[in-house]
């Protein structure tokens, strides 16, 4: 497979020429943060909502994607008249640090005119991602975000925002997430990484000059991750043991005999057209590192001591990647810190992916929480 | 990595020169079944126990493994004085059709003096595996097995034995298994297969002559499968987020930073020394095809109509690969067929792997069921 199309897009971005000091000790000489915004910042600059994207998401939260041509990835929640209402809020979404849609990451040149970082890109943390976002928010002259919202790895960023910049977050909505990455989740990420390493086109991470990308390895990584995003019920309902329409022989040895195989292969092959393998390595590592309690002497409640932020924590009953128990642990730590917190487990059989899908309960909860918070924040209703 | 050591072992086996007709319609010209036996067949030839191994198991169920040097794989259950007592029973375990430990499979020559089958080996089914075992049992002049026992894919064979040769099975013990492979399990198998296909050393399945094996791809396949064998609790208890002792930097970008990564990589790399990639493809496909109800007009109870076999079905509470619900469905079908069936869910936090591990409840249940059946079968107590 040829080089991905990613580099050819001109993204809306801000450049921070003083760079960014990372948790690992490396000082990035220059920082670029690519982002999109929707709606209008009010005169008080108090209606900004930051949306944090997940592992393979990006800033195109409420518009057609420039690479895939697909619709907005959070159409369920973001837009005019939606729960995160772009008529009411100034919605910002930035590509994460380490990403591949314009923000500083492994496919960017180490310095102007030099070769891309590749695997020499320094390891980053969720906190580094949040620090980069904070630079953007400062540049936009926003002192306090009305809300920070995200699911999965986006939810990790929400928790980190509330812990690191409590005064800058009025309301926090971490969805389908956890305060640390579990051994099982690390294990699945490691399988994906090993699949990428095993692909000869990976070429030690310096594949940019070869005109080839490790499509096989990255595709396998995406396939295994995708299984973890779905519930067993969802897979059974969608595919069960149904055969492909074109399956000639009932006992074909190879090829996509079962529909679920064809679906997964499609997920893998479309993914590699829009995502960079080194970014995948960097970002999965950042998720694995994440352990918010460890950043606070092993006591998660200390991360939120004295927090002024209002929290609404949402989990999904069939999510086995970030099970409800992990959201409940966050809610318990917030209670211990005497924070203002509500916690809802949404009944759904769609698995982890439910946060991206049509879930009326999710829409109602987000709309209700934000409306209540808007009243408390003194935001004028429309 | 060099060619696996597998071909150099001389296995105990029987050759069936009339071959075997497979479900796919292909007639294998010759069939070899490699096996091991333990204990003594009694004069009535009525004390034989057939053990069916799982995907990556083999016939070395009760002795040191000739390739790995590891101890017996089912030491918990099989041996002198164990629940499957080799002082009392004549225990047989054969390598499955399609395997790589002496039984006819993809790494065997298509015909004497010819090249190995590779991916041209015909697709096989669980029923084909059972037919090959039946040939061995016939050759040993055993009319009726006292018991057929197996876990995971071994349990699929147990169910197929009872359905196909009911008069030849006095007692059946399917453990941690199901009557069909679920969409999620097919999906995980497909990830493993795609990882093998993506490895350039796979060479379209004809790697035997190259002196190289697709170690990277097969290792990734083993890693992802291994995660599914463990429960999240087991992974947390064993590894949690513990770092490797040698992890120099807290933010190492690559390498085995977390213990769980090192463990999985070890599982992958040791596996490729004893297993053939084409066998892995063939056997995972056989698991995916398995749907016992579909073989009986969609009604699982018909598979067991009028069965004389006594069944004991065992599942494990934390097994998410073959969840208790799937064992319960088998028990329900057996009840509908008015079969003699008991069903036990063993409380365990060890996941699917529990059937291979130290589980006192499992030992007690197997020992109790077999003792009761032995009395009914008129087998003399020791």
Instruction: State the pLDDT at residue A11.
Output: 83
Q: What is the pLDDT of residues B252-268, one digit of tens each?
A: 666 668 899 988 889 88
On the question of pLDDT at B4 being above 80, the answer is: no
- How far is A288 from B51, CA to CA, in rounded Å? 41
On the question of pLDDT at A233 being above 50, the answer is: yes
Burial class for B347, CB neighbours closer than 10 Å (0-12, 13-18, 19+): exposed
Instruction: State the pLDDT at residue A257.
Output: 80
On the question of pLDDT at A252 being above 90, the answer is: no
Q: What is the pLDDT of residues A114-169, one digit of tens each?
A: 999 999 999 999 999 999 999 999 999 999 999 999 999 999 999 999 999 999 99
Mean of pLDDT values over B171-177: 98
Q: Does B352 participate in catalysis according to the annotation?
A: yes
Give the closest residue to A283 by CA, choosing from A64, A109, A163, A107: A107
Interfacial A residues in 208-237 facing B (CB < 8 Å): 216-217, 219-220, 223-224, 227, 230, 232, 235-236
Q: What is the pLDDT of residues A58-111, one digit of tens each?
A: 999 999 999 889 999 999 999 999 999 999 999 999 999 999 999 999 999 998
- How far is B373 from B259, CA to CA, in rounded Å? 44
CB of A353 within 8 A of CB of A227?
Answer: no
Instruction: State the pLDDT at residue B256.
Output: 64
Per-residue pLDDT band at B67 (split at 50, 70, 90): confident
- How far is A188 from B9, CA to CA, in rounded Å? 35
**B253: closest chain A residue by CA:** A123
Q: What is the pLDDT of residues B26-56, one digit of tens each?
A: 999 999 999 999 999 999 999 999 999 999 9
Locus of tokens 């409590």? A166
Instruction: State the pLDDT at residue B38.
Output: 97
- How far is B18 from B27, CA to CA, in rounded Å? 9
Mean of pLDDT values over A194-216: 93
Residue A113, sorted as left (phi over 0), alpha (psi -120 to 50) or beta, turns out to be: left
On the question of pLDDT at B161 being above 50, the answer is: yes
Give the whole-number percent of chain A exceeding pLDDT 70: 94
Q: Does B319 participate in catalysis according to the annotation?
A: yes
Give Cβ neighbours of residue B69 (< 8 Å, ≥ 6 apart): none
The total of other beta-carbon atoms located within 10 Å of residue B73's CB is 23
Locus of tokens 């620090």? A131
Q: Return the CATH number of A6-183+291-377, one of 3.50.50.60, 1.10.3720.10, 3.40.50.2300, 3.40.50.1820.
A: 3.40.50.1820
Chain A residues touching B191 at Cβ < 8 A = 220, 223-224, 227, 264
Residue in A195, A230, A272 to test binding to B, most B beta-carbons within 10 Å: A195
Give the whole-number percent of chain A exceeding pLDDT 90: 85
On the question of pLDDT at A1 being above 50, the answer is: no
Report the first-to-last Cα separation within chain A, whole angstroms: 50
Q: What is the pLDDT of residues B282-304, one digit of tens each?
A: 999 999 999 999 999 999 999 99
Mean of pLDDT values over B77-96: 97
With b for 16 or more beta-carbon neighbours within 10 A and e for fewer, the A167-194 pattern comes to: ebbbbbbbbbbbbbbbbbbbbbbbbbbb
Q: How far is A147 from chain B (nearest CA, A)?
A: 30
On the question of pLDDT at A248 being above 50, the answer is: no
The total of other beta-carbon atoms located within 10 Å of residue A27's CB is 10
Of B125, B198, B227, the CB nearest to A187: B227
Give the whole-number percent of chain B exceeding pLDDT 90: 85
Helices B259-271 and A183-197 pack at an angle, to 10 degrees, of 50
Query: Is the Cβ pair B235, A260 closer than 8 Å?
Result: no
Average pLDDT score, chain A: 93
Instruction: State the pLDDT at residue B164.
Output: 98
Catalytic residue among A319, A327, A348, A353: A319
CB of A178 within 8 A of CB of A154?
Answer: no
Instruction: State the pLDDT at residue A249.
Output: 53
With b for 16 or more beta-carbon neighbours within 10 A and e for fewer, the B330-344 pattern comes to: bbebbeebebebebb
Least confident of A3-12, A200-209, B49-58, B202-211: A3-12
Residue A369, sorted as left (phi over 0), alpha (psi -120 to 50) or beta, turns out to be: alpha
Q: What is the pLDDT of residues A253-295, one digit of tens each?
A: 666 688 999 888 898 888 998 999 999 999 999 999 999 999 9
Instruction: State the pLDDT at residue B342.
Output: 97
Q: CB-side exposure of B277: number of CA atoms within 13 Å?
A: 35
Of A180, A199, A216, the CB nearest to B241: A180
Q: Does A94 participate in catalysis according to the annotation?
A: no
On the question of pLDDT at B3 being above 50, the answer is: no
Interfacial A residues in 278-337 facing B (CB < 8 Å): 281-282, 285, 288-289, 291, 294, 320, 323
Residue B54: φ, ψ to 5° = -90, -175
Q: What is the DSSP string of A199-220?
A: -GGGGGG--GGGTB--HHHHHH
Catalytic residue among A53, A318, A352, A353: A352
Instruction: State the pLDDT at residue B2.
Output: 43
- Supply the Cα-derived Rg of chain A in whole angstroms: 20
- How far is A177 from B186, CA to CA, in rounded Å? 27
The interface predicted TM-score of the complex, written ipTM, equals 0.91
CB of A32 within 8 A of CB of A136?
Answer: no
Average pLDDT score, chain B: 93
A186-283: which CATH architecture? Answer: Orthogonal Bundle (1.10)
CB pairs under 8 A between A and B: 167
Q: Strand A169-175 to strand A78-79: parallel, antiparallel, or no bridges (unpaired)? A: unpaired
**Per residue, what are the HEC states of chain B?**
CECCCHHHCCCCEEEECCCEECCCCCEECCEEEEEEEECCCCCCCCCEEEEECCCCCCCCCCCCCCCCCCCCCCCCCEECCCCEECCCCEEEEECCCCCCCCCCCCCCECCCCCCECHHHCCCCCHHHHHHHHHHHHHHCCCCCEEEEEEECHHHHHHHHHHHHCHHHEEEEEEECCCCECCHHHHHHHHHHHHHHHCCHHHHHHCCHHHCECCHHHHHHHHHHHHHHHCCHHHHHHHCCCCECCCCCCCCCCCCCCEHHHHHHHHHHHHHCCCCCHHHHHHHHHHHHHCECCHHHCCCHHHHHCCCCCEEEEEEECCCCCCCHHHHHHHHHHHHHCCCEEEEEEECCCCHHHHHHCCCHHHHHHHHHHHHHHHHHHCCCCC
Catalytic residue among B152, B262, B318, B327: B152
Q: What is the pLDDT of residues A299-327, one digit of tens each?
A: 999 999 999 999 999 999 999 999 999 99
Instruction: State the pLDDT at residue B334.
Output: 98
Chain B residues touching A285 at Cβ < 8 A = 253
| B60-65 long-range Cβ contacts below 8 angstroms, 24+ apart | B60/B36, B60/B93, B60/B101, B61/B36, B61/B91, B61/B93, B62/B36, B62/B38, B62/B86, B62/B91, B62/B93, B63/B36, B63/B38, B65/B274
Instruction: State the pLDDT at residue A281.
Output: 96
Instruction: State the pLDDT at residue A312.
Output: 98
Q: Spell out the domain ranges in chain B.
A: 6-183+291-377, 186-283
């Amino acid at each position: 497979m040829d080089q991905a199309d990613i580099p050819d897009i001109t993204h809306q971005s801000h450049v921070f020429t003083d760079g960014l000091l990372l948790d690992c000790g490396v000082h990035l000489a220059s920082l670029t943060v690519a982002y999109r915004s929707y709606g209008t910042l009010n005169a008080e600059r108090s209606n900004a909502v930051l949306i944090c994207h997940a592992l393979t998401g990006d800033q195109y939260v409420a518009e057609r994607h420039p690479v895939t041509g697909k619709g907005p990835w959070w159409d369920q929640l973001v837009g005019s008249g939606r729960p995160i209402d772009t008529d009411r809020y100034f919605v910002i979404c930035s590509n994460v640090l380490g990403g591949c849609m314009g923000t500083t990451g492994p496919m960017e040149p180490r310095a102007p005119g030099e070769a891309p970082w590749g695997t020499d890109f320094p390891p980053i943390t969720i906190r580094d991602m949040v620090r980069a976002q904070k630079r953007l928010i400062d540049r936009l002259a926003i002192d306090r975000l009305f809300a920070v919202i995200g699911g999965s790895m986006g939810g990790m960023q929400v928790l980190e925002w509330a812990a690191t910049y409590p005064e800058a977050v009025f309301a926090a909505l971490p969805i389908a997430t956890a305060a640390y990455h579990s051994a099982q989740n690390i294990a699945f990420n490691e399988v994906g990484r090993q699949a990428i390493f095993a692909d000869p086109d990976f070429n030690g991470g310096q594949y940019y000059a070869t005109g080839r990308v490790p499509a096989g390895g990255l595709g396998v990584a995406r396939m295994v991750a995708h299984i973890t995003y779905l519930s067993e019920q969802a897979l059974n309902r969608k595919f069960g043991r149904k055969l492909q329409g074109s399956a000639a022989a009932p006992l074909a040895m190879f090829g996509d005999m079962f529909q679920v195989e064809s679906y997964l292969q499609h997920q893998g092959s479309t993914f590699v057209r829009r995502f960079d393998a080194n970014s995948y390595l960097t970002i999965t590592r950042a998720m694995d590192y994440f352990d918010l309690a460890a950043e606070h002497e092993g006591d998660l409640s200390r991360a939120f001591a004295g927090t002024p932020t209002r929290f609404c924590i949402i989990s999904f009953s069939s999510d086995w990647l970030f099970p409800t128990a992990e959201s409940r642990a966050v809610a318990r730590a917030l209670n211990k810190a005497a924070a203002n917190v509500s916690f809802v487990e949404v009944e759904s059989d769609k698995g982890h992916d439910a946060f991206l899908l049509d879930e009326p309960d999710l829409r109602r909860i987000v709309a209700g929480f934000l409306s209540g918070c808007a009243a408390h924040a003194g935001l004028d209703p429309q």
